Chain A
Amino acid sequence: MKPVPLNRKIRGKWINMAAKDISPSVETVTVKVDGRSVEVPRMMPNWEGTPEPTTVLQACKLAGIEIPHYCYHPKLPVVGNCRMCLVHVGMPGRPGPDGKSPENEDGTPKIFPMQLPYEPQTPRGVIGCATTIVPGMEIYASSPETKEMRESVLESLLINHPLDCSICDQAGECKLQEYSYDHGQAESEFEEFKVHKPKAVDLGPRITLDAERCILCTRCIRFTKDIVGDDSLGIVNRGGYNTISTFPGESFNNNYTLNTVDICPVGALTSDDFRFQMRVWFLKETKSICTDCGSGCNVMIGSRENKMYRYEPRQNDAVNGHWMCDSGRLNYKWIGREDRLSIIKDAKGKTSWPIALKDISDHLVNADKGSVAIVASARQTNEELHILSKLAKYLNAITDSIPRKGKADHLMMIEDRNTNTAGAQLVGITSKRVGSKLSIIKNGIESGKVKTLIVFGEDVTKHGIDTKLLKKVTLIVSDILPNETTKVADFLLPGCAHAEKRGTFTNVKGRVQKFMKALEPPGDALSEWEFLHELAYNVAGLGGFKTIEGLFNQMAGEVKAFKDAELTWAKLGDHGLDVEL
């Protein structure tokens, strides 16, 4: 099957395929869940977004009851092989010759709990993930019979499962652990020898498989085949010796392999990057955005005591669904690099913020109009770029960003490797052709017209403005890692990685999303918007806000696209909002 793209351009407009709009379906079905009547839509989106008859599992979710499951995933095709979602149901009777179903004395339809046809005293369960509801159905999601079915499935899973909890990465976020705690037996009856399978299989460059822990839910196979379109995982051997494997000799190596680690309910598929690094219950979880490209995939930062341990994708059906690419996921180590800029410097050496900011402000106040140029990275936040843009207008400064392009893949990674090109364009830092004004800036420096250059987050020596030219001007640089530009800066202001501040980005489709702070910046480093705020106030008298929320709301009133969409910081929520580009 061809992979299903999450977003497709239809007639010039991006349509989110993960949650297709269903025309308001007034058709509802009434079922009873644990004795409570609930009305649920008759059709609901399936894993591809197409409306399909609602299943027992979806109905129970709407009623607030979670039916335990392993192999079911809302964004993967249903296979029904783990049998954990077995639930005892009662069905209305078959219509008699008069066309009517049997009724109780009070006229309500008589409900018959399902029994095994060959052993009528034994209740029969149906799998909730694949059984569609019928009007009048009674779902006994918490009855002793259903609990017995869950216990028996858990028992079956645990008999061959290795007792690895103490060394397994998944402990703390393991569904087998959780359901065993809720539904399992305290003592095992198993008297035989467990099945042994390969323990630390190098499945691919980023994945290690522990085949013994695998419960064969096949989520990884379905994800890799149906979402990514790479048919590289399968099962070998028979029966109880079933093992997940790649084709012998092949490697599990596409740009989405680490998503299988997320969806694996147990610790079978592990990330080589995160293996044995940190216990998940120690991790602080912070909602953030990936900065590897302009897609703006929603992530969750896992950090502890100011060290970042991992990214995990965060569900946002309008942007990235449940997934993120491997290159983005592993691109966080630069945040913790030893050579992070952490000392504020001026031409003479180490200085302090009050002194540096005063000197810079004085310099800019006295600068001739039109003698300042600003190169602001399209990886800065909306707020920072907005203040810079306003400052630039006041100073009649030329502004631009640096374009960054890479190879796109067929799913999430796009060509534009700048996180916030759209934001830079909307606030006026750069135009549709990013980087088109760099040559003007360069000529300006050469001719002597430009006497001050402000650079935020870029190494301009790689884009035409070499060190010789930089030495001609007063160079004010803010960055996070050292490069050739920072080496010759007259003022070096250490900035923050996105994980160390709060702010918003606008992705290439116009989605404005906010991200939160997970770590403290090193040394002297400050959030860029904080010192820009002071500069802008000193130089141009711009102010009117005290916090990031206030800054965002002010910006939202000043930038046309944000204003039209009536954005506020609070309204952005966890999933962001769209603006017209």
Chain B
Amino acid sequence: MPSEYKLVLKHVDKTGYTNSISCYQKHGGYKTMKKVFKIKAKKTQEGINTPQEIIRKEVLVSGLRGRGGAGFSAGMKWSFVNRKSGKPIYLICNADESEPGTFKDRQIIYKDPHQLIEGMVISCYANDVNLAYIYIRGEFPEGAKILNKAIAEARKAGYLGKGICGTKFNLDIYVHRGAGAYICGEETGLIESLEGKRPYPRIKPPYFPAVLGLYMCPTIVNNVETLCNVRHVMEMGGEAYAALGTPGNTGTRIVSLSGQVKRPGYYEVEVGKATLGDLIFGKDFGQGLIEGRKLQAIIPGGSSSKVFREGESFKIKTKDKAGKDVEKKIDLLDIPYDFDTLMKCGSMSGSSAIIVIDDSVDIVEALGNLSDFYAHESCGQCTPCREGSLWMAKALKRMRSGQARKADADYLKHIAHNIQGRTICAFGEACAWPVLSFVDKFRDKFEERGAADEARSAKQENKGEVD
């Protein structure tokens, strides 16, 4: 039975650990940054590799994938940046942690902000960035204060500002507070908000942040946890980092476990080494469901991911030990918690937030709760999501007030299909997938409710009250 592998959260929550720079440095903080500054250019057969290229190569080799939700290779994202445009390159830390069920980034921001700053300094150095922003969600006012204090401490110590640690590298980091919109977590929505406009995501093509981002300059947007992991990549080396976790799903992840388990919380594990069952039932993790309850559903990767029904099993294509393609049958609770397997099973690991739903929950109510969130958070720029998200929320509200119909299952699916794949940003998928997956996996519950409501209203009509 696997246990936690604390890498990013190594010192957080230890007694006496504070978020001040002195405490951070006492525990080895900023050593990696100083080591990185000492990297010298290397001559190879193809030419000269600058220190920046060496760092970027290391991150690519480590296989670090974005921890914000998309799981896109960080090294590859950095390689897309247009370094020939003559425009300044910006780096933005996406601290707009708004995916329902996710509460991992706040641990880092509140308890170990200097780890984020060190990760950012290294990432900015690797990408020739001289001006970086931390976009923090408006609901974290204390977090913004903590970050600003940490930045001031770092500047005082000479780790930010002009000529960091005696090099020619200048970097300034500013904290920008959001104002309470989930769509500001979308990278182009974030950029628009940072520029002072309404957070309407941009169309891609042509506005890829790596080419036309903040103020139309090349921009890198990375999650808090990803940037912290960059420090660990450079500390232990890309290959050592890649040895953690499983192939293609390297390193560690902080899993936010919530819902009806005995011990909800945040746990850092090697990617793919713990299964869903381990995380929910393991004694080091969730310790199982509340007494007397049975598992009904698991949302594996933040509310935008497709839901799993208990008892499900999947046939996935994988490679056996010899490297040959084989088809394997895998039960729900045996799914290793990584990026790829969850995707093969028809969902995703998203922001690594597991929400456990037991049999005391009314599925229609749960879905209605989720769809209310999405209807509220839709920015309204493009037609399918603006109209469709509100449509689904209204339909579910009607269903929850005793006016469901049997046809509502297909009705909801039709609306959701109208949205997914047709929007400007991935919010379309985010609001459509919960509806599609809940209706697919729990169709009986929806039809049952519809049938019951229709029968009841038919009976009331037949009673035939004449005024």
Do chains A and B interact in one complex?
yes
Contact, CB under 8 Å: A153 / B422: yes
Contact, CB under 8 Å: A239 / B376: yes
The answer to the question of B378 belonging to the interface, with a C-beta cut-off of 8 Å to chain A, is yes
CA distance A156 to B391 in the complex (A): 9
CA distance A116 to B416 in the complex (A): 14
- Choose among B205, B376, B387, B391 the residue with the greatest number of A CB atoms under 10 Å from its CB: B387
Q: Which residue of B lies closest to A82 (CB)?
A: B383
Contact, CB under 8 Å: A235 / B387: no
Which stretch in A94-102, A187-195, A200-208, A250-258 binds the other chain? A187-195
Contact, CB under 8 Å: B383 / A215: yes
Interface string of A75-88 (1 = CB under 8 A from B): 00011111110100
CA distance A468 to B441 in the complex (A): 97
Q: Which of A164-218 contact B (CB under 8 A)?
A: 189-193, 195, 215-216
CA distance A132 to B424 in the complex (A): 16
Query: In the complex, which residues of chain B have a beta carbon less than 8 angstroms from the beta carbon of A82?
Result: 382-383
Contact, CB under 8 Å: B379 / A238: yes
Contact, CB under 8 Å: B379 / A191: no
Contact, CB under 8 Å: A156 / B387: yes
Contact, CB under 8 Å: A127 / B203: yes
Query: In the complex, which residues of chain B have a beta carbon less than 8 angstroms from the beta carbon of A29?
Result: none
The answer to the question of B40 belonging to the interface, with a C-beta cut-off of 8 Å to chain A, is no
Contact, CB under 8 Å: B418 / A155: yes
CA distance A125 to B398 in the complex (A): 32
Contact, CB under 8 Å: B380 / A191: no
Contact, CB under 8 Å: A240 / B418: no
CA distance A153 to B386 in the complex (A): 11
CA distance A125 to B200 in the complex (A): 21
Query: In the complex, which residues of chain A have a beta carbon less than 8 angstroms from the beta carbon of B200?
Result: 81
CA distance A155 to B415 in the complex (A): 10
The answer to the question of B286 belonging to the interface, with a C-beta cut-off of 8 Å to chain A, is no
Contact, CB under 8 Å: A81 / B382: yes
Query: In the complex, which residues of chain B have a beta carbon less than 8 angstroms from the beta carbon of A159?
Result: 387, 391
Contact, CB under 8 Å: B205 / A153: no
The answer to the question of A130 belonging to the interface, with a C-beta cut-off of 8 Å to chain B, is yes
Contact, CB under 8 Å: A240 / B384: no
Contact, CB under 8 Å: B383 / A83: yes
Contact, CB under 8 Å: B394 / A130: no
Measured CB to CB, the closest approach of chain A to B391, in angstroms, equals: 6
The answer to the question of A554 belonging to the interface, with a C-beta cut-off of 8 Å to chain B, is no
Q: Which residue of A lies closest to B395 (CB)?
A: A192
The answer to the question of A316 belonging to the interface, with a C-beta cut-off of 8 Å to chain B, is no
CA distance A119 to B348 in the complex (A): 13
The answer to the question of A422 belonging to the interface, with a C-beta cut-off of 8 Å to chain B, is no
Contact, CB under 8 Å: B205 / A240: no
Contact, CB under 8 Å: B398 / A157: no
Q: Which residue of A lies closest to B374 (CB)?
A: A239
Contact, CB under 8 Å: B423 / A83: yes
The answer to the question of A537 belonging to the interface, with a C-beta cut-off of 8 Å to chain B, is no
Interface string of B418-441 (1 = CB under 8 A from A): 101111100001000000000000
Contact, CB under 8 Å: B203 / A130: yes
Query: In the complex, which residues of chain B have a beta carbon less than 8 angstroms from the beta carbon of A219?
Result: none
Query: In the complex, which residues of chain B have a beta carbon less than 8 angstroms from the beta carbon of A127?
Result: 203
Other-chain residue from B181, B383, B421 in contact with A156 (beta carbon distance below 8 A): B383
Given A157-B383, A160-B387: A83 and B395 within 8 A (CB)? no
Query: In the complex, which residues of chain A have a beta carbon less than 8 angstroms from the beta carbon of B205?
Result: 130-132
Contact, CB under 8 Å: A189 / B414: yes
Query: In the complex, which residues of chain B have a beta carbon less than 8 angstroms from the beta carbon of A81?
Result: 200, 381-383, 424
The answer to the question of B47 belonging to the interface, with a C-beta cut-off of 8 Å to chain A, is no
The answer to the question of B283 belonging to the interface, with a C-beta cut-off of 8 Å to chain A, is no
Query: In the complex, which residues of chain A have a beta carbon less than 8 angstroms from the beta carbon of B198?
Result: 234-235
Q: Which of B301-345 contact A (CB under 8 A)?
A: none
Interface string of B379-414 (1 = CB under 8 A from A): 111111011111100110010000001000001001
The answer to the question of A241 belonging to the interface, with a C-beta cut-off of 8 Å to chain B, is yes
Contact, CB under 8 Å: B421 / A242: no
Q: Which residue of A lies closest to B391 (CB)?
A: A159
Other-chain residue from A125, A132, A242 in contact with B380 (beta carbon distance below 8 A): A242
Other-chain residue from A152, A160, A193, A239 in contact with B379 (beta carbon distance below 8 A): A239
The answer to the question of A461 belonging to the interface, with a C-beta cut-off of 8 Å to chain B, is no
Contact, CB under 8 Å: B390 / A152: no
Query: In the complex, which residues of chain B have a beta carbon less than 8 angstroms from the beta carbon of A325?
Result: none
Query: In the complex, which residues of chain B have a beta carbon less than 8 angstroms from the beta carbon of A130?
Result: 203, 205-206
Contact, CB under 8 Å: A216 / B384: no
Measured CB to CB, the closest approach of chain B to A192, in angstroms, equals: 4
The answer to the question of B377 belonging to the interface, with a C-beta cut-off of 8 Å to chain A, is yes
Query: In the complex, which residues of chain B have a beta carbon less than 8 angstroms from the beta carbon of A310?
Result: none
Contact, CB under 8 Å: A238 / B378: yes
CA distance A82 to B381 in the complex (A): 8
Contact, CB under 8 Å: B388 / A239: no
Measured CB to CB, the closest approach of chain B to A147, in angstroms, equals: 14
CA distance A191 to B404 in the complex (A): 11
Q: Which residue of A lies closest to B387 (CB)?
A: A156
Given A83-B422, A156-B418: A240 and B379 within 8 A (CB)? no
The answer to the question of A386 belonging to the interface, with a C-beta cut-off of 8 Å to chain B, is no
Query: In the complex, which residues of chain B have a beta carbon less than 8 angstroms from the beta carbon of A124?
Result: 421
Q: Which of A493-548 contact B (CB under 8 A)?
A: none
- Choose among A192, A235, A237 the residue with the greatest number of B CB atoms under 10 Å from its CB: A192
Contact, CB under 8 Å: A153 / B378: no
Q: Which residue of B lies closest to A151 (CB)?
A: B418
Query: In the complex, which residues of chain A have a beta carbon less than 8 angstroms from the beta carbon of B206?
Result: 130
The answer to the question of A149 belonging to the interface, with a C-beta cut-off of 8 Å to chain B, is yes
The answer to the question of B375 belonging to the interface, with a C-beta cut-off of 8 Å to chain A, is yes
Contact, CB under 8 Å: A125 / B421: yes
CA distance A309 to B420 in the complex (A): 45
CA distance A83 to B414 in the complex (A): 18
Contact, CB under 8 Å: B390 / A86: no
Query: In the complex, which residues of chain B have a beta carbon less than 8 angstroms from the beta carbon of A119?
Result: 420-421
Query: In the complex, which residues of chain A have a beta carbon less than 8 angstroms from the beta carbon of B391?
Result: 156, 159, 190, 192
Contact, CB under 8 Å: A153 / B383: yes
Measured CB to CB, the closest approach of chain B to A167, in angstroms, equals: 23
Query: In the complex, which residues of chain A have a beta carbon less than 8 angstroms from the beta carbon of B381?
Result: 81, 216
Contact, CB under 8 Å: B394 / A192: yes
Given A190-B391, A240-B378: A80 and B424 within 8 A (CB)? yes
Contact, CB under 8 Å: A191 / B411: yes
Q: Which residue of A lies closest to B421 (CB)?
A: A116
Query: In the complex, which residues of chain B have a beta carbon less than 8 angstroms from the beta carbon of A156?
Result: 383-384, 386-388, 391, 418
Contact, CB under 8 Å: A239 / B386: yes
Given A130-B203, A191-B395, A239-B389: A125 and B422 within 8 A (CB)? yes
Contact, CB under 8 Å: B380 / A83: no
Q: Which of A50-89 contact B (CB under 8 A)?
A: 78-84, 86
CA distance A118 to B70 in the complex (A): 13
CA distance A124 to B423 in the complex (A): 11
The answer to the question of A483 belonging to the interface, with a C-beta cut-off of 8 Å to chain B, is no
Q: Which residue of A lies closest to B200 (CB)?
A: A81
CA distance A246 to B380 in the complex (A): 18
Q: Which of B346-394 contact A (CB under 8 A)?
A: 375-384, 386-391, 394
| Sampled A-B contacts (21; CB under 8 Å) | A78-B203, A80-B203, A81-B383, A82-B382, A86-B422, A116-B421, A122-B417, A130-B203, A132-B205, A153-B383, A156-B383, A156-B387, A156-B418, A190-B391, A193-B394, A215-B383, A216-B383, A235-B380, A238-B380, A240-B387, A242-B380
- 6 pairs of A and B residues whose beta carbons are closest in the complex: A240-B390, A242-B380, A239-B378, A192-B394, A156-B387, A152-B418
Kindly list 13 other residue pairs between chains A and B, CB separation below 8 angstroms, not including A79-B203, A83-B423, A239-B379. Answer: A80-B203, A81-B424, A131-B205, A152-B418, A152-B422, A191-B411, A216-B383, A239-B375, A239-B378, A239-B380, A239-B390, A240-B380, A240-B387
